[in-house]
């Protein structure tokens, strides 16, 4: 399956390190990140899962629930989690899907035959509360994810869902944002952006981040 932005994230039922998982029930009305790993007991994945556990409070602030995936079974996951907790000085606090039959991997397009016939690529999908796919990132197996970028994208998505703005290159929380070009009415601009804005060009208008005091 070729998953694209704006698609409805496919639901599934699969075993995990925390018991049976139904994706839609697990996420409820929360945001979600689903990310795949080539296999258990791999070095880069060990650091990634440890770092995800350490980000629990950051994800919770953003109403995000994490769920990982590896193609090994639950017994293997349980042993690997012990290693992750020990080596990364943390406690894994989210489920890891046991996708031994590769049902979820195939459903989400995590298997790339030209990269590997048997293991998943390092993919990540952000799913919003309406179960829509909002971001897809795929890394080669040799490159660990940048979780600061993932948090940044979640911040951008949640901001731009509620305000008629977009976030410019390298935007971080607190930086100025861009007013969407379709918004042209001056009265509406004043109402929506009481802090004012700077028109660098007619199509490039910067305004302070609207959800900050």
Identify the helix (H) or strand (E) that includes residue 23: helix 23-27
Instruction: Write down the catalytic residue from 45, 125, 126, 159.
Output: 45
Quote the CA–CA distance of 207 and 137 in Å, as a whole number: 29
**Six-digit token pair at 181?**
């070009």
Instruction: From residue 84, give the alpha-carbon distance in Å to each of 36, 37, 81, 140.
Output: 16, 14, 5, 21
Nearest C-alpha neighbor of 104 from the set 33, 14, 196, 19: 14
- Quick check: is 62 catalytic? no
Query: What are the residue numbers of the active site?
Result: 45
């Amino acid at each position: 399956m070729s998953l694209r932005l704006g698609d409805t994230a496919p639901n599934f039922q699969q075993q995990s390190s925390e018991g049976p998982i139904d994706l839609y029930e697990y996420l409820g009305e929360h945001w979600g990140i689903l990310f795949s790993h080539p296999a258990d007991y791999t070095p880069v994945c060990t650091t990634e899962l440890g770092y995800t556990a350490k980000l629990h409070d950051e994800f919770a602030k953003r109403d995000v629930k994490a769920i990982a995936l590896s193609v090994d079974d639950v017994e293997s996951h349980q042993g690997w989690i012990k290693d992750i907790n020990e080596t990364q000085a943390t406690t894994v606090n989210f489920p890891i899907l046991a996708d031994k039959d590769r049902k979820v991997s195939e459903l989400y397009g995590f298997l790339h035959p030209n990269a590997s016939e048997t293991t998943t690529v390092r993919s990540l999908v952000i799913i919003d509360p309406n179960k829509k796919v909002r971001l897809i990132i795929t890394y080669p197996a040799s490159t660990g994810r940048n979780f600061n970028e993932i948090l940044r994208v979640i911040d951008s998505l949640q901001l731009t869902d509620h305000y008629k703005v977009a976030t410019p290159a390298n935007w971080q929380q607190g930086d100025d944002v861009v007013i969407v070009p379709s918004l042209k009415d001056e009265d509406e601009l004043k109402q929506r952006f009481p802090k004012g804005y700077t028109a660098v060009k007619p199509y490039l208008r910067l305004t302070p981040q609207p959800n900050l005091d």
